[in-house]
């Protein structure tokens, strides 16, 4: 069926979001980690120090910078390693197709038969793919490795997404202190609100309802901050 024969309703509805671009996971994880970790850090400092907001601001800024750079470096290394492994396996498959084209063609046909195609049709499809070595490689990689060799995740995109989103998330609990807050209450309100909103937004790309995802993030982040605040209170100067 050609594009002209596809109904306008189907053409408009049958679109998918990017699930392999390598940006969503580090962006979501970066924002949540920045928000929760810096909120917990600031709460712990508030509970364990009497030095005032300047010391808390310094700690919050240090946490933001260290966390953002750490997240970016970790994401870059992780995604780059994953990409290098994928490329190495792709080269293994390329060599096998060059050395044993007949065996690889029969292997691809067997894969199609396992998916329900008739043997004759599976043989024809595999033969047609193997008429073009590049198409054969792409199909083998997709079927055997579950990846698209033309759409591997980018380590630069992952690192940048993680860095920016971590910094934005970490700034939320710090902002009230930068604006003159003298205690943790404004940061608490802003952080819990942001956690709920972030969770609700994430539900747009998952199967969870917005309120479930929002409440889950709120409770997890709030628990982390409460525990850190308690630790700060226990080991702070007023603990004795």
Which tens digit of pLDDT belongs to each residue from 168-188?
999 999 999 999 888 889 999
Please tell me the predicted confidence (pLDDT) of residue 151: 86
What average pLDDT does range 57-73 have in this prediction?
95
Q: How confident is the model at residue 22 (pLDDT cuts 50, 70, 90)?
A: low
Name the residue with higher pLDDT: 238 or 112.
112
Q: Where are the domains of the chain?
A: 22-226
Name the residue with higher pLDDT: 63 or 30.
63
Residue 157 clears pLDDT 60, i.e. is over it: yes
Name the residue with higher pLDDT: 124 or 199.
124
Q: How confident is the model at residue 232 (pLDDT cuts 50, 70, 90)?
A: confident
List the single range of 20-29, 44-53, 81-90 with lowest mean pLDDT: 20-29
Q: What is the chain written as a DSSP string?
A: --GGGS-HHHHHH-----SSSS-HHHHHHHHHHHHHHHHHHHHHHHHH--S-HHHHHHHHHHHHHHHHHHHHHHHHHHHHHHHHHHHHHHHHHHHHHHH-HHHHHHHHHHHHHHTT--HHHHHHHHHHHHTSHHHHHHHHHHHHH---TTSPPPHHHHHHHHHHHHHHHHHHHHHHHHTT--SSHHHHHHHHHHHHHHHHHHGGGSSS-HHHHHHHHHHHHHHHHHHHHHHHHHHSTT--
Residue 206 clears pLDDT 80, i.e. is over it: no
């Amino acid at each position: 069926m050609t594009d002209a024969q596809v109904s306008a309703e189907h053409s408009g509805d049958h679109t998918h979001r990017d699930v392999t671009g390598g940006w969503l996971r580090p962006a979501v994880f970066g924002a949540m980690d920045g928000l929760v970790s810096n909120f917990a850090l600031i709460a712990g400092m508030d509970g364990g120090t009497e030095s005032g907001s300047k010391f808390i601001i310094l700690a919050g800024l240090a946490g933001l910078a260290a966390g953002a750079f750490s997240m970016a470096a970790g994401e870059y290394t992780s995604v780059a390693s994953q990409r290098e492994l994928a490329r190495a396996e792709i080269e293994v498959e390329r060599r096998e197709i060059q050395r044993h084209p007949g065996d690889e063609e029969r292997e691809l046909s067997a894969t199609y038969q396992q998916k329900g195609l008739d043997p004759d049709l599976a043989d024809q499809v595999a033969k047609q793919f193997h008429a073009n070595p590049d198409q054969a490689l792409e199909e083998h990689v997709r079927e055997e490795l579950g990846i698209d060799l033309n759409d591997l995740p980018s380590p630069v995109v992952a690192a940048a997404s993680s860095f920016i989103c971590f910094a934005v998330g970490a700034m939320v609990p710090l902002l009230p202190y930068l604006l003159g807050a003298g205690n943790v209450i404004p940061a608490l309100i802003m952080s819990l609100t942001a956690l709920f909103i972030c969770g609700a937004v994430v539900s747009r790309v998952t199967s969870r309802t917005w309120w479930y995802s929002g409440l889950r993030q709120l409770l997890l982040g709030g628990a982390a901050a409460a525990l850190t605040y308690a630790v700060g209170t226990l080991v702070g100067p007023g603990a004795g």
